[in-house]
Structures are given as C-alpha cells and as structure tokens.
Amino acid sequence: MEGVSYKKLILKINNGYELYEKLKELNLIEDADVRWWPHSGTFEVVIGAILTQNSQWTKVELSLENLRKFNLLNLESLSQLDVVTEAIKPSGMYNQKAERLKLLSENIKMTFGDFETFCAEVSREWLLEQKGIGQESADSILCYACKRDAMVSDSYSARLLNHLGWEFSSYDDVQSFLKSGIDDFYDGEKELSIVYAQFHGMIVEFCKRHCKGKKIDLELL
DNA sequence: ACCCAGGTGTTTC
DNA sequence: GAAACACATGGG
C-alpha cells in the first residue's frame, strides 16, 4: 500500500459531546461489546480496575487469567493474600494491589454482603473511602461493574484534550468537560450509562493506537 | 538505559 | 494545594 496520505486538520472541539460524535465515526469499539470493559457487570471489573492502575491492560489480562485459573475471581478468595499476590505479579505493584484487593473484598462483604447488593447500593463516596480506589477507579467501577451513569476520566482523556488545545487542572474539570453537551444533545437512543461507557472506551482505544507518551497523532480525527 | 502503562497514597514544601 | 516519590513488572 503506497503512500497512505493522511489529511491533517485542526480539530475544533467545543465540548464533550462533539468529541464523542467524532470518535464514534472511527468505529473504535465493536457494537456488540456495548459497555467496552471486558466482562462488564461482573466482579472481575472491580479487580481489573485496581490491577490496571499504572500498568498495561495486556498485563492485567495475564493476572486475571491467573486469578481465574485458581478460581480467585470472587469475594471470598481474595482474602488469600499469598496466592493472590503470586497470581497478579504480571501487572506489577502486586504487594500493594493484593493488600488492597483483600481489604476491599472484606469491606464489600462486611458492608453489602454480596456483589449484587454492592452494585445496587454502593456510592462513589463509599468507594473513595477504600484504600487504593481513587476517582478514576471509583468511576470505572460505577460505570463498568455497576452500570451506573458515571463518566470515567483518565490520563488519556486529559492528554487527548490537551492536544486539542484544552488544559485542565483536575480530574473533576476533565470529567465535567467530557460530560458537557451530552445531556443537551444526546438523542436518547441508548441508555446514558452506555453512552458514558462507550465514550471512555473510545478515548482509550483511540489513545492506545495514536498516543504514545507526550506524542499523539491526530491525523485520524 | 530510559520511558511508558486504562493511578493512588504519603510525604514535603 | 502542588510537587516529588514509592509502588513493580515487562515492552518498546
């Protein structure tokens, strides 16, 4: 294939909804995979949200495979610190993460009893009180495990928006921008929670392909 | 040998 | 508050 020429254009994005529409044109996620995060709606998402912190998703998949192999993907088994630590080594920072998974699973059991009740009743505030769960992980869990209307922001979102000419100083600011316009212009075809879920998914998929560190190729936008 | 990856908590100014 | 650091592995 000779000289694929990309058309470079200065993209003017005024709010989150315009970015959402732009990304949608690129077919970054499969239609069938409605919520994008693997095994959305299951406890595995909660574990993945911790494991993926500052590590590559491909490594998280290895850790999740190990956990699955030893039947550790459940609230009861995560208390077994030693085996869990061993299983999640591929995704790094395993001592911290294993300790935090143990604490989190124990607190979920103590406060909600089971995962279904947790999903139905947990609040963002409760999640933020847990050691090892910050704003991004809290929103990821709400959005992809509990299927709530939560817009996840992350370093990819900030980086992408930076390259589009926007600067933000906090997680909240980036999140607000991403949500801006969506309530007003959204046509109601799908649930809002799925719009948010896919929006963040598309940002990640786009950046995984076109953003490396501080570099980014916006040719495709 | 360096920088990075679907962050968070702690310490220090 | 913000800035610096630890956490830890494996790929480019």
Name the token pair of A129: 């009180």
- Least confident residue range of A10-24, A139-153, A161-175: A10-24
Closest CA to A106 of A118, A95, A96: A118
Q: Report pLDDT for A6.
A: 34
Closest CA to A75 of A126, A38, A129, A117: A117
Could you tell me the distance in Å between the CA of residue A102 and the C1' of nucleotide B13?
34
Q: Report pLDDT for A1.
A: 29
- Overall average pLDDT of the A24-30 stretch: 91
Name the token pair of A59: 């490594």
Give me the residue label for tokens 């799908």. Answer: A190
Q: Which nucleotides of C are covered by protein (CB under 7 A)?
A: 2, 7-10
Q: Which of residues 139-178 of A touch strand C (CB under 7 A)?
A: 169-170
- Overall average pLDDT of the A181-202 stretch: 90
CA dihedral A30, A35, A37, A40 (to 10 degrees): -130
- Overall average pLDDT of the A169-181 stretch: 96
Q: Which of residues 78-97 of A touch strand B (CB under 7 A)?
A: 92-93, 96
Q: What is the pLDDT of residues A31-66, one digit of tens each?
A: 766 899 999 999 999 999 999 999 999 999 999 999
Q: Percentage of chain A with pLDDT > 90?
A: 82
pLDDT confidence tier of residue A7, bands split at 50, 70 and 90: very low
pLDDT confidence tier of residue A10, bands split at 50, 70 and 90: low
- Overall average pLDDT of the A174-189 stretch: 89
The single-letter code of the amino acid at A141 is: I
Average pLDDT, chain A: 92
Q: Reduced to 3 states, what is the DSSP secondary structure of residue A215?
A: strand
* pLDDT tops 60 at residue A5: no
Q: Report pLDDT for A211.
A: 84
Instruction: Please check whether strand C approaches the CB of A97 to within 7 Å.
Output: yes
Name the token pair of A111: 């406060």
pLDDT confidence tier of residue A82, bands split at 50, 70 and 90: very high
Q: Report pLDDT for A2.
A: 32
CB A6 within 8 A of CB A189: no
* pLDDT tops 50 at residue A147: yes
Residues 6+ apart with CB under 8 A from A171: A135, A136, A153
Q: Reduced to 3 states, what is the DSSP secondary structure of residue A77?
A: helix
Q: Report pLDDT for A220.
A: 65
| Total-model pTM | 0.94
CB A211 within 8 A of CB A51: no
* pLDDT tops 90 at residue A129: yes
Q: Report pLDDT for A32.
A: 65
